[in-house]
Amino acid sequence: MTEDRVVADGLYKAFGDNEVLKGVSFRVAAGSVTTIIGPSGSGKTTLLRALNALDVPDAGTVCIGDVSVDFAKPVSKDELRRYRMQSGFVFQSHNLFPHKTVLQNVTEGPIVVQKQPRQEAEAAAVQLLEQVGLAEKRDQYPYQLSGGQQQRVGIARALALRPKVVLFDEPTSALDPELVGEVLSVIKDLAVEGWTLVVVTHEIQFARQVSNQVLFTDRGVILEQGPPDAVIGDPKEERTRQFLQRILNPL
């Protein structure tokens, strides 16, 4: 039986009067791919950011690997730091350090956060850059790269921390259409290698191809979840059907 790598239970998050997450619960098996789909404003990105505590939940518990946090109680800085180290985050718009080279961007976390020796961190970073097809760009700066290449550096940076789960926030939404494929290809390769991935995406066919589990969110709740053939291929909820109809048949 596959162990659960992520267990989220009863997550709530509000910004002022706007309740964005309303008691969200789900599990992610180790070595699996979970995609989160849904309309804009449905809470997808907030849910992902809550898993990394970039947006600290107001209530609920999350367990990643063997680190568990109950957000209804005060959480110390040390607890939060240890919890955040369990996951890597890939942002929509890369968020690379513009004044650092590609190699320096990838080694920043291992050296500064995890206190790895520089030589060890750089050797691992070069391997990761080879994995995402950018080893020859190691000494270049972000402005010298295409958007797709920057996003692949962002993926390598997240992997460098050897996290228990990698979180992707709409990793292709800021890219020109012709660059989308190169980033999705890297994510597919990571899935094949057995990384545990949670991906917020509008790429429905990608979600169908790589997911073990699809979550459909709407108005702060998970309305439907299950394997892609069920949620995307044969949704039970009328709201899910409406959403997929608009995405897959826009005209």
Mark the ranges of the chain whose per-residue pLDDT is less than 70: 1-2, 250-251
Q: How far is CA 126 from CA 100, 139, 142, in A?
A: 15, 11, 16
CB 69, CB 83: distance < 8 Å: yes
What are phi and psi for residue 144, nearest 5 degrees?
Answer: -90, 0
Amino acid at 197: L
CB 156, CB 134: distance < 8 Å: yes
Q: Identify the three-state secondary structure at position 7.
A: strand
Residue corresponding to tokens 């350090």: 97
pLDDT, position 1 = 44
Question: For 140, which DSSP code?
Answer: S
Q: What are residue 234's DSSP bridge partners?
A: none
> Alpha carbon 162 to chain centroid distance?
14
Cα–Cα distance for residue pair 91/101, rounded to 1 Å: 18
Q: How far is CA 12 from CA 21, 23, 82, in A?
A: 5, 5, 21
Instruction: Spell 16-33 as b/e; 16+ CB within 10 A means b.
Output: eeeebbeebebebbeebb
Q: How far is CA 34 from CA 95, 111, 132, in A?
A: 23, 30, 21
DSSP H helices, the chain, are 44-52, 77-84, 102-108, 118-131, 147-160, 177-193, 204-210, 228-231, 238-248
For the domain 4-248, what is the CATH code? 3.40.50.300
pLDDT in tens, 116-154: 999 999 999 999 999 999 999 999 999 999 999 999 999
Query: What is the spatial order of strands in the sheet that 18-29 belongs to?
Result: 18-29, 4-15, 59-64, 67-70
CB 29, CB 209: distance < 8 Å: no
Q: What is the pTM of this model?
A: 0.94
Would you kindly state where each structural domain of the chain is located, as residue ranges? 4-248
Residue corresponding to tokens 């080879």: 130
CB 157, CB 105: distance < 8 Å: yes
What are phi and psi for residue 134, nearest 5 degrees?
Answer: -135, 20
